[in-house]
Structure formats: structure tokens, C-alpha cells
């Protein structure tokens, strides 16, 4: 076991069980006014009935209870979070701080343009930076998630084909794609056709040539793809699709591998989304607000959602005069605080810094691949980009599977990687360390993975029954998801 990586966790009662009649969460001097009955101050409909069993606890009990509970959760501020395809990197707190500056935080979306010049400048500047980073012509910031960006991108593609009077029904998607891709295409009213990967984990060009026809509205691909591999034949792929009148949608959620090095706009991509909540400094995974900026080339620009921010003689303004637009896709202008964080991140990093981010993300993932090669099976043993996919093939011989390895990692103090995805790899373990991890943290993770491999060999039952040091051991996850018990029963 790594030193210092198992923690002091104490049993925590429910706050209801801590309750003692008469305890209270504050102590203030006695009121020097004569108390008024509540009924005299408020209409009866506003007065709540007594709550049965309402916990009565002191201030220190409340603070300690919730502080302890907060340590039961694992977050990027706690340690490495190597979930592949998620880019769970550390986000500098300064960007968070900038987004909560009063001038941003209390501005209101109904404020007139003259009084929102700073906000509009933030949006316009961010749009221009994202266009520069992706090599695309225009960007809509209204979209609030990756999957939302996919849907909007496909709506733009539909609007483009409709405008040209062309009826297209199909979207091609590689079998390694993120699950949201086929879901978005289907949601946008297209039939989905799957493209198999070749033995190198990339799009099979021969197969692509065979299935492309006039009915194909778009190919939706991810680059680097979900195996962490760069689609090296992207230019030929784009040519094949464009030749038959289709467009290329790029899922840009993996932009953390490319910044400052390669631009999707140079690869023949027509439309892509970015996950601002992966690459650009909004924490990912809290279920909180996100940003799925959609970037397009000139041909698709007329269809972008309204409004777009423009700069005129009298300053910045919101342009709604866009007759071919697909309309609005979100209330107001999207998640503004996410935009502020993205801009603050880009400005603090600078172009050189962003390039270093991507280089370090790629080096870190390759470091893990090299160090664990031979210890864990590599279904595609090729230089990877920002993430690397192993499988449980070696350990499975001893009856230890991916789920067991993931659970055992928790005993070593690490959040497990993404498991059983991408679907084309049996028993996948998908690791994305990101650029923000030091070599010491990577080495500690690698050591933990090595120890688990030895345990799987010598004492497979220990791994199969993990975790042992967590608050609860192996859970029945299906029942937990299907029949969650969320209510306190006295
Ligand atoms: C995260 C991710 C998405 C979905 O993004 P959300 O913001 O969760 O909707 C889509 N594609 C890829 C490749 C991703 O990694």
C-alpha cells in the first residue's frame, strides 16, 4: 500500500441521529424587543408547519458533520482523477475567482447593450480565440454541453442541406465514438450507420468508401478518437465525405490533445464542438453549468444560433438579424460564467502555454502507456495522444476483471479510470492523466497499478473483493441505480 494513501474515515451518523432536543446552531444575545407571534408578521400561507423529527444540533456538530461528509467524496482537489474521455484536469482557482467578480456576477441578461459592453467584449474575444485555436471561422457560445453542441451541430448540417434543397438521411459514426454521438444524430432525425474501426483503431477507409453515398448528411468523428489515437488519414476521410456532398462533424471534446499543435479547421472539418468544461477551465463532473461552444466554417455560419455578438460603430451588439439561423438553442446567451473562465484561462496561459498544456497531456498519457505496457494488455499498442486504453486480458486469466482492478485502485487512494469504454475494447481501462499531474503523482498511480497486477497474480481474491478500505465495500450498483434509497426512515 502506498504510504499516506489510506485515510482516517470515521463512522458518520445521520444528522437526525445526532439530534438532541434543545440544541441549536447559533448563540446570539437575547432580543431586547418583545417577541411578536409569527402569525402577526406573515400571512398564514407563508408559515410552515413544524417539521417532524427536525434535527436539533449545535453549530460545531453541523460544521463537523458536513465537513466530514464532504471528505467522503473524491474530487480533482483531492487527487488524480484519471477518467478517460473526461479531461478531469485541475482548473486554476484564479479563473473561478475572475468569473465571480461582482461586475460579471451581478450583471443581468436583460441589461441593455450599452450597459453590457464589457460582457459582450468577453464573449466576442473568447469567440475569436476559440476560432483561432480551432482554425474555424465563427463560434456560437450559446451551447451548454458537449452533447448539446453535437445536436446543434447536426441541426446546422440539416439547415445547410435543406437550404441547398438536398435531402439527406444518414449520419456515419465510427464504432469507437462517444455514446452521445449516435444519440445526438438520432435525436436530430438522422439514421445512424456505424463505421467499423480497422486493426489500428482508426476509421477503415475502404469501408468508408463503400458506404458513402448521396444520402450521407455527415460523418461524425472524434479526433483524436476515443482510443486516444489521431485519425491520421483525416484529409482523405474529409475528401471522401465532401466528394459525395456530405459534411464532417468533429467531436472536439478531446481538444486537450491538440491546442497550439493542430487545428481541426485545417483538417477539412466543417463543424465541431468544444467542451469548455473539459479543456478550458470549468470543472467537469459536478453536473454544474458547462459550455459546448460550436465552431463552424463559412459555409455553415449563416445557420448559427441567434444572437451572435458583433462589433459596430457604436460598440458591441447582439445580432438577431440572421434570417437563416436555426434560432435560439438556449435561454439568453448560454452559461456566461463558463465563458469568463475560458477567457481567463486562455489569457493567463497564452498561445505558448496552451501548446504546452497539450504537449504535457500527450507526454503524460504516453508515459503511463510505456510504464504499464506488458503489465496490462494494450489492445492498440501505438503512440497515443492524451489518453491510453488498456484491457484486463492479462489479469482475466486469473479471474480478475476490469471492475475489480478499478475497485482495488480506490484502496490505493486513486479514483478509478473510465472502464468498459470504448465499447470496442473488451474490458477496457481508459486512462487520461491530463497535463496537470506531476511526475510524482503519475509514478504513484503507476506503482499502484503495478501492485494490483502483482496482487491479481498472487492473491486474486483480494482484488476481486475490493475495495477494502472505503466506507462501503463492493456495492450492488444495479440495485443502487434502479432502486436508490434516498429518504431517511426513522
Ligand atoms: C465528454 C464527451 C462528450 C459529451 O460531453 P457532455 O458535455 O458530457 O455532453 C462527447 N464526446 C466526447 C468524445 C466526450 O469526451
Is there an atom of ligand 1 within 6 Å of 147 CB?
Answer: yes
Residue 442's alpha-carbon distances to 8, 193, 291, 372, 383, in angstroms, are 23, 39, 29, 11, 18
Is there an atom of ligand 1 within 6 Å of 145 CB?
Answer: yes
User: How many residues make up the chain in this entry?
Assistant: 490
Which residue's CA is the nearest one to ligand 1's atom 14? 253
Instruction: Tell me the C-alpha distance between 270 and 244, whole Å.
Output: 14
Summarised one tens digit per residue, pLDDT across range 222-233 is 999 999 999 999
Summarised one tens digit per residue, pLDDT across range 150-192 is 999 999 999 999 999 999 999 999 998 999 999 999 999 999 9
- Co-location of 136 and 66 in the same domain: no
Is there an atom of ligand 1 within 6 Å of 225 CB?
Answer: no
Is there an atom of ligand 1 within 6 Å of 290 CB?
Answer: yes
Residue 7 clears pLDDT 60, i.e. is over it? no
Strand, coil or helix: what is 125? Answer: helix
Residue 18 clears pLDDT 60, i.e. is over it? yes
- Co-location of 343 and 380 in the same domain: no
Residue 4: band (very low, low, confident or very high) from pLDDT cuts 50, 70, 90: very low
Residue 3: band (very low, low, confident or very high) from pLDDT cuts 50, 70, 90: very low
Which pLDDT score, from 0 to 100, does residue 248 have? 98
Total domains present in the chain: 3
Which residue's CA is the nearest one to ligand 1's atom 6? 146
- Co-location of 319 and 398 in the same domain: no
By most ligand atoms within 8 Å of CB, the mutation choice from 275, 286, 434 for ligand 1 is: 275
- Co-location of 440 and 406 in the same domain: yes
Global pTM exceeds 0.85: yes
Summarised one tens digit per residue, pLDDT across range 428-469 is 999 999 999 999 999 999 999 999 999 999 999 999 999 998
- Give the CATH number for residue 149: 3.40.640.10
Residue 8: band (very low, low, confident or very high) from pLDDT cuts 50, 70, 90: low
| Average pLDDT score over residue span 79-102 | 95
Percent of residues, the chain, with pLDDT higher than 90: 84
Instruction: Tell me the C-alpha distance between 405 and 400, whole Å.
Output: 7
Residue 288: band (very low, low, confident or very high) from pLDDT cuts 50, 70, 90: confident
| Residue 325, domain member (yes or no) | yes
| Residue 270, domain member (yes or no) | yes
Here the cell at position 374 is 506488458
| Residue 81, domain member (yes or no) | no
- Co-location of 199 and 256 in the same domain: yes
| Residue 1, domain member (yes or no) | no
- Give the CATH number for residue 449: 3.90.1150.10
Which pLDDT score, from 0 to 100, does residue 488 have? 67
Domain containing 37 equals 12-72
Residue 196: band (very low, low, confident or very high) from pLDDT cuts 50, 70, 90: very high
- Co-location of 220 and 292 in the same domain: yes
By most ligand atoms within 8 Å of CB, the mutation choice from 184, 220, 251 for ligand 1 is: 251
Summarised one tens digit per residue, pLDDT across range 120-141 is 999 999 999 999 999 999 999 9
- Co-location of 230 and 267 in the same domain: yes
Of 289, 319, 348, the position where a domain reaches its end is 348
Burial of residue 316 (number of CB atoms within 10 Å: 0-12, 13-18, 19+): buried
Amino acid at each position: 500500500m502506498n504510504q499516506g494513501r489510506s485515510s482516517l474515515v470515521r463512522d458518520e451518523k445521520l444528522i437526525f441521529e445526532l439530534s438532541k432536543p434543545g440544541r441549536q446552531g447559533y448563540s446570539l444575545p437575547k432580543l431586547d424587543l418583545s417577541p411578536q407571534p409569527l402569525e402577526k408578521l406573515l400571512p398564514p400561507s407563508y408559515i410552515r408547519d413544524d417539521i417532524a423529527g427536525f434535527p436539533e444540533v449545535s453549530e460545531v456538530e453541523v460544521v463537523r458533520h458536513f465537513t466530514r461528509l464532504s471528505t467522503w467524496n473524491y474530487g480533482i482537489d483531492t487527487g488524480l482523477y484519471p477518467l478517460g474521455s473526461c479531461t478531469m484536469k485541475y482548473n486554476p482557482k484564479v479563473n473561478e475567482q475572475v468569473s465571480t467578480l461582482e461586475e460579471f456576477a451581478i450583471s443581468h441578461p436583460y441589461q441593455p447593450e450599452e450597459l453590457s459592453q464589457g460582457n459582450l467584449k468577453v464573449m466576442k474575444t473568447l469567440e475569436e480565440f476559440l476560432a483561432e485555436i480551432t482554425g474555424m471561422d465563427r463560434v456560437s457560445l450559446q451551447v451548454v454541453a458537449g452533447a448539446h453542441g453535437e445536436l446543434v451541430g447536426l441541426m446546422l448540417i440539416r439547415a445547410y442541406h435543406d437550404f441547398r434543397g438536398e435531402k439527406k438521411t444518414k449520419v456515419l459514426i465510427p464504432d469507437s465514438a462517444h455514446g452521445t454521438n449516435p444519440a445526438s444524430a438520432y435525436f436530430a432525425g438522422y439514421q445512424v450507420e456505424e463505421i467499423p474501426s480497422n486493426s489500428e483503431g482508426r476509421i477503415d477507409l475502404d469501408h468508408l468508401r463503400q458506404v458513402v453515398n448521396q444520402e450521407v448528411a455527415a460523418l461524425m468523428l472524434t479526433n483524436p478518437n476515443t482510443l486516444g489515437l489521431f485519425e491520421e488519414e483525416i484529409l482523405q476521410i474529409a475528401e471522401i465525405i465532401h466528394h459525395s456532398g456530405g459534411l464532417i462533424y468533429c467531436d472536439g471534446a478531446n481538444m486537450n490533445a491538440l491546442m497550439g499543435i493542430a487545428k481541426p479547421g485545417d483538417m477539412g472539418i466543417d463543424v465541431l464542438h468544444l467542451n469548455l468544461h473539459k479543456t478550458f477551465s470549468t470543472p467537469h463532473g459536478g453536473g454544474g453549468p458547462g459550455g459546448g461552444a460550436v465552431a463552424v466554417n463559412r459555409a455553415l455560419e449563416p445557420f448559427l444560433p441567434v444572437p451572435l455578438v458583433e462589433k459596430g460603430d457604436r460598440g458591441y451588439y447582439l445580432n438577431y438579424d440572421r434570417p437563416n439561423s436555426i434560432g435560439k438553442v438556449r435561454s439568453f446567451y448560454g452559461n456566461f460564467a463558463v465563458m469568463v473562465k475560458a477567457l481567463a484561462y486562455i489569457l493567463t496561459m497564452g498561445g505558448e502555454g496552451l501548446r504546452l498544456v497539450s504537449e504535457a497531456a500527450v507526454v503524460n498519457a504516453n508515459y503511463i502507456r510505456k510504464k504499464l505496457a506488458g503489465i496490462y494488455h494494450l489492445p492498440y499498442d501505438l503512440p497515443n495522444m492524451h489518453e491510453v486504453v488498456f484491457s484486463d486480458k492479462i489479469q482475466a486469466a486469473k479471474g480478475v476483471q476490469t471492475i475489480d482492478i478499478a475497485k482495488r485502485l480506490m484502496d490505493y487512494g486513486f479514483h478509478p479510470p473510465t472502464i468498459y469504454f470504448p465499447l470496442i475494447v473488451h474490458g477496457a481501462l481508459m486512462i487520461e492523466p491530463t497535463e496537470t499531474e506531476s511526475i510524482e503523482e503519475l509514478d504513484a498511480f503507476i506503482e499502484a497499478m503495478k501492485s494490483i497486477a502483482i496482487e491479481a497474480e498472487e492473491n486474486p481474491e483480494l482484488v476481486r473483493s475490493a475495495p477494502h478500505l472505503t466506507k462501503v465495500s463492493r456495492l450492488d450498483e444495479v440495485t443502487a441505480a434502479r432502486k436508490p434509497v434516498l429518504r431517511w426512515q426513522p
